Each structure stands twice: as C-alpha cells, then as structure tokens.
Structure 1
C-alpha cells in the first residue's frame, strides 16, 4: 500500500505541477491580452494550454483514485505540494527568484504535510 501512495502522490504532484507551469506558459505566450478571435487562436495554437488541460484532467483522476484509499487529511495537504514544486521550477523556467517569505512558506507547507502524515501514521498504529 505504501508503494501505491508514493506512486499516486508522485503522479498527482506531477500532474498538478504540469498544469501550473503550463498555465503560466500559456498565458505568457498568448500576450498581449485581447478580447478577440486572434487572441483565442494565439492561445489555442500553442501547446501550453493543452498541457494545462492535461495536467488538470490527470490530477483530477489521480485525486479521485487516491481518495478511495488514502486518509483525507494527509491526502488533502499533499495535494497542495504543487505550490512548492511550482515555486522551485519557476526559478529555472521563468528566471524568478525565491524570496525569504516564499522559502519560509514552502518550508511550512512541507512541514505541515509531514506532521499530518506522521499524525495519521500514529493514529493507524493505535
């Protein structure tokens, strides 16, 4: 069962991260923002909007599968790890910098997930 969680949450993280990064790339490549057919054509002619859709659809089905088996507390928390992976990938992909508050926030997110997972493990042993 542990292997299922590792593979499942890894897939969820990959799909969520793909969606976040693709969504930003789609927005960047569709600039300038205009409310016309040319803008929609520019948006849907690039691959990034499809990466975002695939990421969201994959994350949805992975999440539904995980909810059948995983404890809800750690599962819900772990489903938000894409905030951390998106932050980390934004450095090499978009040239962004991680500030002190962002780094602290990422550490708090990871610590919270670990605490929930540990608490769930302790509850399962009782």
Structure 2
C-alpha cells in the first residue's frame, strides 16, 4: 500500500510539472509574438516569466521521472507518464479556447485504459 501512495504522489507530481511546462510554453510563445531574428525579440523572450516557468517544469519533471524510474516498472511508468497530456488537453480547451475533438477524447480515454491494463498486468506478474 505504501508503494501505491508513492506511485500516486510521484505521478501526480510528474503530471503537474509536465502540465506546467506545456502551458508555460504556450503562454510564453503567445507573448513573444512572431519569431524574429533580432535582439529585440530575444530580449522579449528572455524577460518572459513563462519561459522560466517552463524551465522549472522541465527540471521538476526530470527529477520526478528519475525518482519514479528507480522504483516503478518501466512499462506502466512510461505509459502513465503520458497522463500529462490529459490535463494539458483540458486546459487548452477551457483556458485557451482550443477545440476539443472526438479523436482527442478517444485518445485520452485510450491512454487511461492502456495504463489500467498495463497496471493490472504488472500486478499479476511483478518483475521484482
């Protein structure tokens, strides 16, 4: 049971950092404007706090992922790492007004179902 809490908290942290990264990149790129090979554009990007939030998200996700890989089976862990796509999808639809399609919803459900099947398989045949 202790392991289950570790995985749940660990993957929640990983998903939070992944979501922070993706949303921050979207916000930073929106505020930076069109790419321009100029010092002015670069200064705008470097003064954007969302750029640093994205870097923080990448670093947090990296350390969360490395910690999880020490303890979790690779197959289910890799699949579960894709759960981060679901909150990004929901935030994109609600906050950025992007259209949520049937295929995206089916993809999100497929990710969740796949993780459940991998977890059940791992529970029946642990590799410890």
Q: TM-score, normalised by structure 2?
A: 0.93
User: Which of 32, 40, 45 is 1:30 aligned to?
Assistant: 32
Structure 1 unmatched runs, 5+: none
> Aligned residue for 2:8?
6
Moved over 6 A (4+): none
Query: Bigger CA drift: 61-70 or 112-121?
Result: 112-121
Q: 1:74 Cα deviation (Å)?
A: 0.6
Tell me, in whole angstroms, the C-alpha distance in 2 between the residues paired with 1:6 and 1:82.
13
Tell me the matched-pair count: 125
Tell me, in whole angstroms, the C-alpha distance in 1 between the residues paired with 2:116 and 2:40.
47
> Aligned residue for 2:88?
86
Tell me, in whole angstroms, the C-alpha distance in 1 between the residues paired with 2:45 and 2:94.
23
Q: Is 1:40 the equivalent of 2:48? A: no
Q: CA RMSD in A?
A: 1.3
User: Which of 52, 55, 59 is 2:54 aligned to?
Assistant: 52
Over residues 68-115 of structure 1, what are the superposed CA-to-partner deviations in whole Å (9 max), with x where a residue is unaligned?
A: 000111100111111111101111220112111111111111111111
Q: 1:32 Cα deviation (Å)?
A: 2.0
Q: Is 1:74 the equivalent of 2:88? A: no
Q: TM-score, normalised by structure 1?
A: 0.94
Tell me, in whole angstroms, the C-alpha distance in 2 between the residues paired with 1:96 and 1:63.
29
Structure 2 unmatched runs, 5+: none
